[in-house]
Structure 1
Amino acid sequence: IASNLSSMFYVSRFVVPGMTERGSGKIINIASVQSKLARQTIAPYSASKGGVALLTQGMAADLARHGVQVNALSPGYFATDMNRALVEDDAFNDWLVNRTPAHRWGDARELRGALLFLASDASSFVSGQNIVVDGGMTAVV
């Protein structure tokens, strides 16, 4: 909770006054596909990321009148050094590939488009949203 949720709250408390004084700003919180789906053995992680999604919505509601947009980016499963053990776990890898409509792990570079969109003027009327980049995982049962 401290790393995944409270940290975003405290950083926002630090940067929001300058944004509201300026009358503009963009905050992009990092949530997770686990903010929309639960998986066995990681309930605390899912709860923290679900909290990020709702913190994002609450902040968006509070800050929109000050010209500050708050959104979240929710990555699915990406092959990174942090996930190396899961990538190399044959059973988990098989589950993930079969569970994800794209039939593969994501590449971290595939997050750039969503981040650029949220950070740019192209999203000037987007606030309180949780953009999921997950190869279709949350779109299917």
Structure 2
Amino acid sequence: MLYVVTGPPASGKSTWIEAHAKPSDIVIDLDRITSALTGPGAPAWNQHPLHLRVAHRARYAAIDEALQLLDQLDVYLIHTMPSPKALAKYKRHSARIVTVDPGEDVVMQRIRAMRSPTMERVASRWYRARRGRPREAMPQASRSW
């Protein structure tokens, strides 16, 4: 099964995956990939653009490979704002789309406490794109911050 976990930055996507994925599952998370590709002490968030460039390429390769293994294991993929083209691809693989959204006020508070101010723009863009669409209930409470 393919689980595509969406939501704004700092919403609890990684926490949702930690609560659901098994050790035998594949987890594709750009933050984790970037951390694996950078040296000791590199930031977990707010990564350097060159590090992100390499991590994005690794992520695309991981997605392509993992999609071929869906009959053998579960794949959890974090994709903050999938494009219509990406969603169509995921749906062709019978993905379950999981939206983690504790609410804009909570997300902005978490970003101010832990992330770069640039993430506020990403979160604002995510919420603007969702305006007019019904808010889905978050399947599980995020960790207490």
TM-score by shorter chain over 0.5: no
Structure with more relative contact order (C-alpha pairs < 8 Å, separation 6 or more): 2
Q: TM-score, normalised by structure 2?
A: 0.29
Using structure 1 for the length normalisation, give the TM-score: 0.30
